[in-house]
Amino acid sequence: MVGITDVAQHAGVATSTVSYVLSGKRPISAPTRRRVLDSMSALGYRRPASARSRTIGLAVRVDDGAHRPLLAEFMLSASVAARGRNCNVLLLTDHAEHGVLDAALLDGLVLMDIGIHDPRLDTVRELDVPAVLIGLPRDPAGLACVDLDFHAAGVRCVDHLADLGHREAIFLGAPDAAYRRRTGFAVRTANGAVERAAARDLRLTHRAVDGDWDSTAGTLTRALQERPNATALIVQNEAATPHLAPLLRSLGRAVPEDMSLVVLGSDAVATAGTPALTSIAVPAAQLAERAVELLISRIDRMSGAAEPTPVLLEPRLTVRASTAPPPAPGRTA
């Protein structure tokens, strides 16, 4: 069995340095810590279960500049769920594959913000600890996945507006970085909305938006200039959402009299202003809890675990004061 002395010799550090990396009792420089972790991975080192409490890694992306209000709710909910099962949570924020290499310190791993073709997944499949994804890649074979059915969420938004009689709408989506990275939640929602709009004879214009005031104002203004007959907005950007009602008023369009508005995100954002917004909530707490439950179940039965089936939660649309039938011809500004 590989011990910490073997790791220390392989990494060229003192045994105490390896111990501090494992315990976190003293700060270790990032290069030294990485060298120790790489040696653990190369040697197949695992801490004895009797020597530690169970630890779950939570790998998140924090480097794309996007305003992500749901991220804190995901992290807090995962931590609460883990502590309720006598587990600790280690937050991993390194780039790409580097974060998951800390698996030598972990009993299991939860990855968030999954891309359609995520470069981390080849590494995850090679880990000797179980992993659960909050997200759905194109090829989930061998991976346990939990997510909202974002494709169905896009469909629900379009159906709601089409049922009210709208025939032209604008979809303000995630930041451009999310589409460049082919992030699952953004791509799947847009695909569902675009496909359903074609089937429902609703003209839909999709635009990415960074979410700050200037970006939102510029994108919305240009979209309305391009589509002056649009009578509805679908929004999948929590940073942009609070700006929309005042921006529309400044453009002479009231919500919902001139422009209906349906959003995807947290209920807290949807209900923070006036009017309260029709929305599909992203159930961050439920997703995080399900992911932790599934991961612990897989940890407890590491050998002989069945091929996992993706778990997709059904989106639920809550109708509030921001959606109504389109205005009569001639009323739209």
pLDDT score at 96? 45
**Residue 230 per-residue DSSP state:** -
pLDDT score at 265? 92
Judged on CB neighbours under 10 Å (0-12, 13-18, 19+), 145 is: buried
Instruction: Return d(Cα 237, Cα 175) in angstroms, integer.
Output: 8
Residues (pLDDT < 50) of the chain are: 65-66, 96-99, 332-333
Pick the closest to residue 196 from 233, 167, 154, 160 (CA basis).
154
* Element (DSSP H or E) covering residue 262: strand 260-265
pLDDT score at 34? 86
pLDDT score at 270? 94
Which tokens in the block code for residue 20? 């501090």
CB within 8 A of 63, min separation 6: which ones? 93, 95
Instruction: Return d(Cα 79, Cα 117) in angstroms, integer.
Output: 27
Calculated CA dihedral for residues 88, 94, 267, 204, nearest 10 degrees: -150
Report the chain's mean pLDDT, rounded to a whole number.
Answer: 88
pLDDT score at 64? 57
